[in-house]
Amino acid sequence: MRITTWNVNSIKQRVGHLLAFLDEAKPDVVCLQELKCQDDAFPRAEIEAAGYAVETQGQKAYNGVALLVRAPLALSAVRRGLPGDADDVQARYIEAVVGGEDCAPVRVASIYLPNGNPVASEKYPYKLAFLERLRRHARALLADEVPVVLAGDYNVIPEPEDAADPEAWRQDALFLPQTRAAYRTLLAEGYTDALRACDPRNGLYTFWDYQAGCWPRNQGIRIDHLLLSPQAADRLVSASVQRHLRALEKPSDHVPVTIALAD
């Protein structure tokens, strides 16, 4: 099973890139973030025509997450919204069980964590609270002993080697010690950072800002992650970054990250 996560930064602007990627890479599951549209505006017909079933949690103008699954696999037990805060109306979490006749079920989530900037505003406490809710939910999912993949734009730079210029991010919500510590609590629950498990090299980035020539100068950061439960980590075969998509015309500022799990 090939599972991809990709923050498309507006599905309306990037649907052509997405369809080309689906045709080229043929991932079995795609976790999308930052749709920036409501459910009824999502380009469902085009994606279904490409052979994918779709589940979304949209939101007007910002946020929004989706799960796509390629036939003959199917989605079931869909959950919209991260448990733990009934008042949270931001569309940042969707989860489902993916499986089929010849494929053991895997629980997959598409996650768009809050950015958290500016740090002095209410946005940073919300980010930390979201991470704590995610940790609690991630722990609860382990009880079922079904492989779990928590994929998405975490808006977390885990380590200095995950940024081309760590000093530039020292005071940013993505790299503050509290943020990185909260991310490590997810790993401490028994989850594995799939990309790092397969490739420990420096220079693996998934995001390049549109400003200041970051892409041509390779001033990137790694903030898109796939965290695997022990049962999923045991099946991990490979993980890779599709950085070539950042060079497309009018690209997302993020690129896809893909893992392969053995059947």
Choosing from 153, 162, 193, 224, the catalytic residue is 153
Cβ atoms within 10 Å, residue 153 = 28
CA–CA dist 162, 142 (Å, integer)? 27
Show pLDDT as tens, one digit a residue, over the chain (263 residues): 999 999 999 999 999 999 999 999 999 999 999 999 999 999 999 999 999 999 999 999 999 999 999 999 999 999 999 999 999 999 999 999 999 888 889 999 999 999 999 999 999 999 999 999 999 999 999 999 999 999 999 999 999 999 999 999 999 999 999 999 999 999 999 999 999 999 999 999 999 999 989 999 999 999 999 999 999 999 999 999 999 999 999 999 999 999 999 98
Choosing from 52, 93, 112, 183, the catalytic residue is 112
Crossing angle of the two packed helices 177-188 and 123-142, in degrees rounded to 10: 10
Tokens of 90: 């931001």
Q: Whole-model pTM? A: 0.97
Give me the residue spans of the domains in the chain: 2-261
Residue type, 82: L
Half-sphere exposure of 20 (CA within 13 A, CB side): 11
Chain CA centroid to CA 108, Å? 10
Residue with tokens 């722990």: 139
CATH number belonging to domain 2-261: 3.60.10.10
112 is catalytic: yes
